[in-house]
Amino acid sequence: MWQFFHKLGSPKWFFGIAARLMPWLLAGGILLLMAGIVWGLAFAPKDYLQGNSYRIIFIHVPTAFLAQSVYVMMAVAGVVTLVWRMKLADVFVKSVAPVGLVLTFLSLFTGAVWGKPTWGTWWVWDARLTSMLILLFLYGGVIALDRAINDEKSAARAVAVLVLVGVVNIPIIQYSVEWWNTLHQPSTFKLTEKPSMPAEMWVPLLLSVLGLYLLFGWLACLRMQTEILLREQRTRWVKDYVLAGRV
């Protein structure tokens, strides 16, 4: 167990593992996402109230799901950065923060597109929308702070502190805006209860959530590999790797 943990600290080791994992992540991700979306868009039953417009849920929910869990993953990596000073953790935070930003934006955008036919407006100052907007700001702040600090190590640790402060704030933001104003429906999936929609609807939704997770894993590996190559460009193994013509 500890050996694995120590190995995880080695960028070179991770680079190799990522290269082996990535084809599987990509294939699995595309397969599940395609299955979920085709099933959801073409074969799942119509909603009795919203008709076909509800089908955007098969894109909206996975992006929103990922947007939030990417932030939590970043917070875990932030703890690892601060406590164990593991290089890979901060490579992870730096690589996935822009992905999280884009996912948050996509979930807000698809939400707006869905809101227009359903609520009759692109935007409402509702709890869920507002807290996602704040999540977007938090991602923006993390990226801006990372770009502003030139020294790699202090950037990593400063960003870790910021991400952790943000994660303390996320439940507070969530509840404050919830008590303040609410229109959005409650979560689709809960750990403890059965989904409130029929299986023909939630199974494809679950497939596309899982597919997007795998695709995110692929993208994270890819971006982390790039970052590792940049940071380790002066080391022997990167030179050998590049000279072997594999980049």
In the complex, what is the shortest distance from the CB of residue 151 to other proteins, in angstroms, rounded to a whole number? 6
3-state class (DSSP) for residue 191: coil
Query: Where would I find the H helices in 85-186?
Result: 87-119, 127-148, 152-180
CA angle 173, 185, 121 (to 5 degrees): 90
- The torsion defined by the Cα of 160, 166, 167 and 172, in degrees rounded to 10, comes to 160
Dist CA 45 CA 48 (whole Å): 9
Q: Rounded to the nearest whole angstrom, what is the least distance from the CB of residue 125 to other proteins in the complex?
A: 11
What is the per-residue DSSP string for 203-243? HHHHHHHHHHHHHHHHHHHHHHHHHHHHHTTTSHHHHHHHH
The verdict on 177 binding other proteins (CB under 8 A) reads yes
* Residue 151 is a binding residue for other proteins (CB under 8 A): yes
Q: For residue 92, how many C-alpha atoms fall within 13 Å in the half-sphere facing its CB?
A: 28
- Looking at the Cβ atoms of 141 and 195, the one nearer to other proteins is 141
Measured from the CB atom, the residue of 116 and 153 that comes closer to other proteins is 153
Q: Which range, of 2-10, 94-102, 153-161, 220-228, touches other proteins by CB under 8 A?
A: 153-161
Q: Confirm or reject binding of residue 138 to other proteins (CB under 8 A).
A: yes
Window contacting other proteins (CB under 8 A); options: 42-50, 141-149, 206-214, 234-242:
141-149
Could you give the CA distance from residue 212 to residue 247 in angstroms, rounded to a whole number?
Answer: 26
Verify binding: residue 162, other proteins, rule CB under 8 A: yes
**Nearer to other proteins (CB atom), residue 50 or residue 181:** 181
When asked if residue 149 is in the footprint of other proteins (CB under 8 A), the reply is yes
Query: Which one of the spans 14-22, 147-155, 192-200, 227-235 is the region binding other proteins (CB under 8 A)?
Result: 147-155
Report if residue 164 touches other proteins, rule: CB under 8 A. yes
Residue 1 C-alpha from the chain's centroid: 27
Interface residues with other proteins (CB under 8 A)?
A: 82, 85, 134, 137-138, 140-141, 144-145, 148-149, 151, 153-154, 157-158, 161-162, 164-166, 168-169, 172-173, 176-177, 179-180
